[in-house]
Amino acid sequence: MLVDEVEITIKGGHGGKGRVAFYSKMGAGPSGGDGGKGGDVYVQATSDLYALNKFLSQPECKAWDGQMGGNNRKTGAEGEDLTLIMPLGTTIYDQESKVIEINELNKKELLVKGGLGGRGNTFFKSSSNTTPRFAQSGLPGEERKLTLKLQLIADFGLIGLPNTGKSSILNELTNAQAKIGDYPFTTLEPNLGMLNGKVIADIPGLIEGASEGRGLGHKFLKHIEKVRLLLHCISSESDNPLKEYKIIRDELKKFNPKLWEKEEIILLTKSDLIEKINLEKKLKSLAKTKKKILPVSIHNWDSLQILIKVLV
């Protein structure tokens, strides 16, 4: 199951207590060190789409507390920071206002700070009080309740009717190992793969009525919003490729006109399955779309190389 919305509470570590201590030599004064600062909480992106799943069972995330100050004016150790790993394309909301959009791999961003450590009694030594017998307790870390919403970000998105070979192409072009099946709706959740540093997303098959929620329509369509270029897959075996093209285009437009306006290349897939003359006919019928069209087959190395050249 892909978790694409979840609520969490995050908390910085508590600052360590200051220590009350004195040098053993008579009259040498206070020696209590300050408490260490509590750890901060950061967020960092991963290409693992499923990285929000863990928050379902772990909705509270806290960095480590700072340690108490030591003797000999030694500051307590700082609490360890906590880095939350979230998928690329996650937007973090705080009471519905957007806080951070995670759109860069490996960039670390601060979410909340840990509390400061308390001052040890050494800090309070003065001419009027040479033997202070008190120290501060540390401060609590910041706390925030956040909602995480995922919309995947990809350079290229494979879209189309079910069973048109989208996952097969993803697997050929990238390191992904998406499930393939000779039946519709094999893919129930998006898959991601990397091609020369670019992200390709395989979106589950869309059907007529997707924009009104048929199939898992909305759930899939919203994941296309942050895709830069659409790779619209139509099977060469289709009797009417232009009609199939229009079905998907209509759904994109109804869901969000911005999807419809996105740059798009048509892939006439499984080109090995039909005669060359028929392939030419189908390419011709799709020419009306005025889009770039590439015949592709996972069993034809050259066709895949041509596609790769267009993409990278």
Ligand X SMILES: Nc1nc2c(ncn2[C@@H]2O[C@H](COP(=O)(O)OP(=O)(O)OP(=O)(O)O)[C@@H](O)[C@H]2O)c(=O)[nH]1
Residues that bind ligand X (CB under 6 A): 162-168, 180-182, 184-187, 204-205, 269-270, 272-273, 297-299
Q: Considering the complex, what minimum distance in angstroms separates the CB of residue 186 from ligand X?
A: 4
By beta-carbon proximity to ligand X, the closer residue of 31 and 163 is 163
The binder of 168, among Mg ion, ligand X, none, by C-beta within 5 to 8 A per type, is ligand X
165 is in an annotated binding site: yes
With CB cut-offs between 5 and 8 Å by kind, which of Mg ion, ligand X, none does residue 303 bind? none
Give the residue among 294, 220, 219, 232 at the shortest CA–CA distance from 262: 232
Give residue for tokens 């992200």.
199
Question: Is 20 within 8 Å of 133 (Cβ atoms)?
Answer: yes
Which residue lies nearer to ligand X by CB, 59 or 181?
Answer: 181
Please calculate the CA angle 310-251-304 and round it to the nearest 5 degrees: 20
Query: Sign (positive/negative) of CA torsion 184, 188, 190, 192?
Result: negative
- Of 167 and 271, the one with the shorter C-beta distance to Mg ion is 167
| Binding interface with Mg ion (CB under 5 A) | 167, 186-187
Residue nearest to ligand X (CB): 205
Residues near 223 by beta carbon (within 8 Å), at least 6 away in sequence: 4, 151, 152, 157, 190, 201, 203
Residue 232 contact partner, candidates Mg ion, ligand X, none, CB within 5 to 8 A by sort of partner: none
Least separation in angstroms between residue 75's CB and ligand X is 57
**Closer residue to ligand X, CB minimum distance, 153 or 298:** 298
293 binds, among ligand X, Mg ion, none (CB under 5 to 8 A by kind): none
Q: List phi, psi (to 5°) of 107.
A: -75, 135
Measured CA to CA, the distance from residue 209 to residue 305 in angstroms comes to 34
User: In the complex, what is the shortest distance from the CB of residue 42 to Mg ion, in angstroms, rounded to a whole number?
Assistant: 35
- In whole angstroms, what is the distance from residue 43 CA to residue 40 CA? 10
What's the burial of 24, exposed, middle or buried (CB within 10 Å: 0-12/13-18/19+)? exposed
Instruction: Copy the structure tokens of residue 82.
Output: 């906590």
- When CB distances are held under 5 to 8 angstroms depending on the partner's kind, the choice from ligand X, Mg ion, none that residue 209 binds is none
Q: Is 186 annotated as a binding residue?
A: yes
Q: Annotated binding residue at 161?
A: yes
Q: Which residues are annotated as a binding site for Mg(2+)?
A: 167, 187
- Binding-site residue positions: 160-167, 185-189, 202-205, 269-272, 297-299
Binding-site residues from annotation for GTP = 160-167, 185-189, 202-205, 269-272, 297-299
